Amino acid sequence: MNREELKIGIIGAGGWGTALATVLSENVREVLIWAKEVSVCAEINSYNTNSVFLPGVLLPEKIRATNHCYELEDSDLFVLTIPTQFIRKFFSEHRFQLGDKPVINGAKGIERKTLLLVSEILLDCAGISPDRHVILTGPSHAEEVARRMPTTVVCASENIILAKEVQNIFSNKSFRVYTSEDVVGCEIGGALKNVIAIAAGAVDGLGLGDNTKAALITRGLAEISRLGISMGANPLTFSGLSGLGDLIVTCNSRHSRNRSVGEQIGKGKSMAEITANMQSVAEGVTTTESAYHLSQKHNVEMPIVEQMYFVINGQKKPPEALECLMNRQTKYEWWW
């Protein structure tokens, strides 16, 4: 693919979709974003801004927006950035025609009830085969990507040739892309780091220190690795950008919605109070439920995920969950 001649269709005009549009606008001929909200489309097209989902960023004039899915259908490839729990609904309601074109997924999550990863959802509801699917993931807050702060991510596909093409399409002076063939590992790392980030936020909300958060991140990575390996992932993936890298940034950043949710939980707010005031989705809330049930399905020990599941469902307060974690039976450290 000659990237300068490409038209890219982005499905979803949230912060991440809009940020990726700014990256791609430097490299390709045309970028068209589909937004559910008519007002968001109008603002992008009239003022080159998206104040609802990516405030304070002036968008390149090359980026256009539409409320009509069919206008994206002649794109050379598609970037999917709508939240995981709404992917199936989108394809059901819009009957979007993808043809046999590549789909790059930017969502991070596990579907509720079915416990499917995004690649599995796309195959199930849209017939997108593994050889034309790529996951783009890693430590990449939209607010920083859109402002051209140096960022590195990884794109993974069973089709390594396609992954390398996507690497070329997205890479530029502020956005560096690595490749991988470990789709499962990258998806598990990207999804479960949001659960651990909620726990990290609760640590902040409780006023605990650096020791506590370091322990949480390290043992959280152990849990993510255990589940991923049990599902066929490469253990090395979890020491990379989609594992440790994404976990560090999401657990510590002021931009992280999941960490923010956890902080409010730690300060005593209920989930109903927290979600009532949220403009954007925090994927980790629903992923916590899915991850808990997935750990039961695969018989994998995930105590942090388990305790966060109880906290989010209102069965425990954060101090109780912390006490349970600290008083567990002592263990050998290595988990592989």
Query: Catalytic positions, please?
Result: 193
Q: Which residue type occupies 204?
A: D
What gap in Å lies between CA 268 and CA 65, rounded to an integer? 40
- Reference 42, options 13, 7, 77; nearest CA is 13
User: How many angstroms separate the CA atoms of 225 and 34, rounded?
Assistant: 35
**Token pair 């490299």 is at which residue?**
27
Helix (H) or strand (E) segment spanning residue 176: strand 175-180
- Which residues are paired to 7 by β-bridges? 30
The alpha carbon of residue 39 and the mean position of all alpha carbons in its chain are separated, in whole angstroms, by 25
Q: Scan for tokens 């992008």, then name that residue.
A: 44
CA 141 to chain CA centroid, nearest Å: 10
Can you read off the two tokens belonging to residue 201? Answer: 């936020």
Pick from 260, 139, 261, 119: nearest CA to 188: 119
